Structure 1
């Protein structure tokens, strides 16, 4: 699977975990040169607290487009540390 934004591959892996329609990529597959800090957080009753990163590609910022659960609840242990994408990031095979 590939995560693509602005024509650039942000992450690529054959080892994703599908949860609620979102592919969670291994953390090492994320090209961190395209990410920037975000202090945004959200909570999910069954997954726990999500942390976010923003994307910065070709001079364009996509705030809070990447999320991950550094310490998920036990029910979501399989996605610990994995990253998922939204806000216009295309997920393709």
Structure 2
């Protein structure tokens, strides 16, 4: 078993989903997106899974909604940090 292929943090999926929803993947650089992902994911305790289906079928709705809100808040906070930091550098 290769851990890097079989196990991943479910929040990675939620953070990327939020980034795509905001359209940042089309307007920001790869470096910005990488920093954004790191900053957002470091704010949230990891939730490791093997299969996406595990989260879809076995996670209670209220817990799934809370996880989505955690990802949204973490991404928004990371965007604010990055944008404020880059404006201070100018």
Q: What's the TM-score bracket when you normalise by the shorter of the two chains?
A: under 0.3
| Higher share of residues assigned strand | 1
What is the TM-score when the length of structure 2 is the normalising length? 0.24
- Structure ranking higher on relative contact order (CA contacts 8 Å, 6+ apart): 2
What is the TM-score when the length of structure 1 is the normalising length? 0.24
Larger Cα Rg: Structure 1 or Structure 2?
A: 2
